[in-house]
């Protein structure tokens, strides 16, 4: 499975969850570190980025089969890749109440969903699974308007299979012979 295929599963899944969890906020999901500048978001935001290394576990499973007179072989490798999710939400301390949603609440909700039975089932139906989710780290940034904002984040590891199908070379000549050992 390629990175954009993983993103095509992850982003709509998280966006739909956040729309149901926080309907008044209209939380958007984006990939961070895009090749082009997107500008600062004006509302609630969750950004994802892939980082670190892609871990390969075990050796590939190889099976072969025939189709229309051609032999194919399929190699399946289990891979793990790391993602970081960060939540951003401009907060106004003057209007905050005990019911006000914070960026930390959004990050915690996303982490909870990825570990929930519903989240795991949705990921599994798309060929993904969560290997681990780390603790939520709370950091602070100064935004483009010189405001201090909370930027909670957590890391999670997605496990999936990489499947490659190739045709086998056809044997065109065969030479029989007896050879001394």
CATH classification for the domain delimited by 3-167, as one of 1.20.1070, 3.30.2000, 3.40.50, 3.40.630:
3.30.2000
Q: What is the band of 94 on the pLDDT scale with cuts at 50, 70, 90?
A: confident
Pair of tokens at residue 146: 């010189």
This prediction has a pTM of 0.82
Q: Among 53-67, 68-82, 85-99, whose mean pLDDT is lowest?
A: 85-99
CA distance 80 to 101: 32
Nearest 5°: the CA angle 94, 86, 97 is 20
CA distance 43 to 21: 16
Q: What is the mean pLDDT of residues 101-112?
A: 94
């Amino acid at each position: 499975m390629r990175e954009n295929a993983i993103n095509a599963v992850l982003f709509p899944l998280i966006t739909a969850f956040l729309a149901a969890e926080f309907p008044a906020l209209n939380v958007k999901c984006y990939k961070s570190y895009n090749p082009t500048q997107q500008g600062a978001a004006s509302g609630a935001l969750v950004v994802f980025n892939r980082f670190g290394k892609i871990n390969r576990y075990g050796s590939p499973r190889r099976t072969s089969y025939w189709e229309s007179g051609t032999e194919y072989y399929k190699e399946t490798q289990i891979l793990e890749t790391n993602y970081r999710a960060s939540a951003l939400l401009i907060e106004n301390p003057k209007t905050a109440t005990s019911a006000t949603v914070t960026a930390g609440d959004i990050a915690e909700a996303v982490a909870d969903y990825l570990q929930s039975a519903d989240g795991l089932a949705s990921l599994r139906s798309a060929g993904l699974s969560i290997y681990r989710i780390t603790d939520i780290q709370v950091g602070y940034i100064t935004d483009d308007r010189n405001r201090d904002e909370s930027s909670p984040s957590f890391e999670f590891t997605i496990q999936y299979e990489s499947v490659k199908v190739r045709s086998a070379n056809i044997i065109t000549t065969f030479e029989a012979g007896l050879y001394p050992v």
